[in-house]
């Protein structure tokens, strides 16, 4: 066992001395120096496959640089051949056609969007119009029911008073001042029409008593009220403003 180890050590030493002698001979003969030794080390550190890949990448980059330089020279004013000019014009025309087609498609999509928004707006307008109609109907129904009920309640309250008191209330209505910026004649006509409406709604006996109280202080006014009651509801009375 020891003899085998000694033999292996001897062979290793012999190989080392041979390599050392070869290196010394290369340096001595001028075939090897530090720079070449470094280059050999760098070369041996890369496999053949890796070196081939690097060479291919370098070649591709060189070709790309040459193509870029040629394109730059062409754009700088280098004369082009006729077929190159035709190809360039065709490419520009194709690009312009693509841009126009894209613009038309965008315009079509925008038109479709606008039509959809217009339809939504029309639907909203219809809903608003319908809501306004329903509100107006509800308001009118309220006026026809609650308004009539309130008027009837006011008539009942007048009839519950003594004729003198009811006449005093109605006279106060006739003499009520007009609101600010209101036409005095129009206001007076409206107030008289309201008084005539109340008198017309009273029972005959109550109405006779109230008119009698008016006649005690102002016979002319009592006569005008009686005539207005008689003509109430006729076209002539409505035109003259004495109707309800």
Kindly report the pTM of this predicted structure.
Answer: 0.38
The pLDDT score that the predictor gives to residue 8 is 67
Dihedral, 104, 107, 111, 116 alpha carbons, nearest 10: 110
Mean pLDDT of 126-137: 78
Sequence-ordered list of residues with C-beta below 8 angstroms from that of 74, at least 6 positions apart, any chain = 80
Q: What is the DSSP letter of 144?
A: I
For residues 67 and 151, the model is more confident at 151
Claim to verify: residue 233 and residue 177 sit in the same structural domain = yes
- Integer angstrom CA distances of residue 17 from 5, 13, 25, 136: 18, 6, 12, 119
Mean pLDDT of 192-209: 90
- CA angle, corner 38, sides to 57 and 22, nearest 5? 125
Mean pLDDT of 164-174: 91
Single residue among 92, 119, 147 that ends a domain in this structure: 147
pLDDT of residue 165 exceeding 90: yes
pLDDT of residue 33 exceeding 80: no
Nearest to 173 by CA among 156, 158, 159: 158
Whether residue 29 lies inside any domain: the answer is: no
Mean pLDDT of 33-53: 71
pLDDT of residue 73 exceeding 60: yes
Claim to verify: residue 169 and residue 235 sit in the same structural domain = yes
Claim to verify: residue 173 and residue 234 sit in the same structural domain = yes
Claim to verify: residue 182 and residue 220 sit in the same structural domain = yes
Nearest to 201 by CA among 148, 240, 242: 148
Claim to verify: residue 132 and residue 190 sit in the same structural domain = no
Whether residue 14 lies inside any domain: the answer is: no
Single residue among 91, 115, 147 that ends a domain in this structure: 147
pLDDT of residue 230 exceeding 60: yes
Mean pLDDT of 29-41: 69
The pLDDT score that the predictor gives to residue 141 is 59
The pLDDT score that the predictor gives to residue 194 is 87
Q: How many domains does the chain have?
A: 2
- Integer angstrom CA distances of residue 56 from 32, 45, 66, 157: 29, 18, 15, 113
Number of neighbouring beta carbons within 10 Å of residue 162: 11
The pLDDT score that the predictor gives to residue 244 is 38
When pLDDT is cut at 50, 70 and 90, the band that residue 243 belongs to is very low
Claim to verify: residue 165 and residue 225 sit in the same structural domain = yes
Claim to verify: residue 141 and residue 167 sit in the same structural domain = no
The pLDDT score that the predictor gives to residue 137 is 67
Range of the domain at 166: 161-240
Claim to verify: residue 201 and residue 138 sit in the same structural domain = no
Mean pLDDT of 153-162: 90
Whether residue 3 lies inside any domain: the answer is: no
| Distance (Å, whole) CA 77 – CA 69 | 13
Whether residue 90 lies inside any domain: the answer is: yes
Claim to verify: residue 167 and residue 231 sit in the same structural domain = yes
Whether residue 55 lies inside any domain: the answer is: no
Single residue among 102, 122, 147 that ends a domain in this structure: 147
Q: What is the pLDDT of residues 184-198, one digit of tens each?
A: 678 788 888 889 989
Q: What is the pLDDT of residues 44-70, one digit of tens each?
A: 667 777 777 877 788 888 888 887 777
Nearest to 214 by CA among 165, 149, 167, 155: 167
Q: What is the pLDDT of residues 108-124, one digit of tens each?
A: 888 888 888 888 888 88
| Distance (Å, whole) CA 194 – CA 189 | 9
Claim to verify: residue 166 and residue 227 sit in the same structural domain = yes
Claim to verify: residue 175 and residue 219 sit in the same structural domain = yes
Whether residue 172 lies inside any domain: the answer is: yes
Whether residue 205 lies inside any domain: the answer is: yes
When pLDDT is cut at 50, 70 and 90, the band that residue 22 belongs to is low
The pLDDT score that the predictor gives to residue 208 is 92
Whether residue 229 lies inside any domain: the answer is: yes
For residues 85 and 169, the model is more confident at 169
């Amino acid at each position: 066992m020891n003899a085998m180890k000694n033999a292996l050590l001897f062979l290793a030493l012999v190989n080392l001395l041979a390599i050392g002698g070869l290196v010394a001979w290369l340096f001595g003969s001028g075939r090897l120096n530090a720079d070449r030794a470094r280059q050999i080390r760098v070369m041996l550190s890369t496999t053949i496959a890796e070196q081939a890949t690097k060479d291919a990448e370098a070649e591709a980059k060189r070709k790309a640089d040459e193509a870029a330089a040629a394109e730059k020279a062409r754009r700088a004013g280098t004369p082009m051949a006729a077929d190159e000019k035709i190809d360039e014009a065709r490419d520009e025309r194709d690009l312009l056609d693509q841009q126009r087609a894209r613009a038309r498609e965008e315009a079509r999509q925008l038109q479709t969007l606008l039509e959809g928004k217009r339809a939504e707006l029309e639907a909203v307008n219809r809903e608003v119009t319908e809501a306004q109609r329903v509100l107006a109907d509800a308001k009118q129904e309220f006026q026809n029911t609650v308004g009539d009920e309130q008027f009837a309640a006011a008539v009942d309250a007048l009839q519950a008073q003594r004729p003198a008191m009811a006449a005093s209330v109605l006279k106060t209505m006739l003499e009520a001042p007009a609101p600010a910026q209101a036409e005095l004649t129009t206001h007076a006509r409206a107030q008289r029409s309201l008084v005539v409406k109340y008198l017309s709604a009273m029972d005959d006996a109550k109405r006779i008593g109230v008119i009698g109280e008016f006649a005690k202080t102002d016979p002319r006014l009592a006569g005008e009220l009686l005539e207005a009651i008689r003509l109430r509801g006729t076209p002539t009375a409505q035109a003259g403003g004495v109707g309800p």
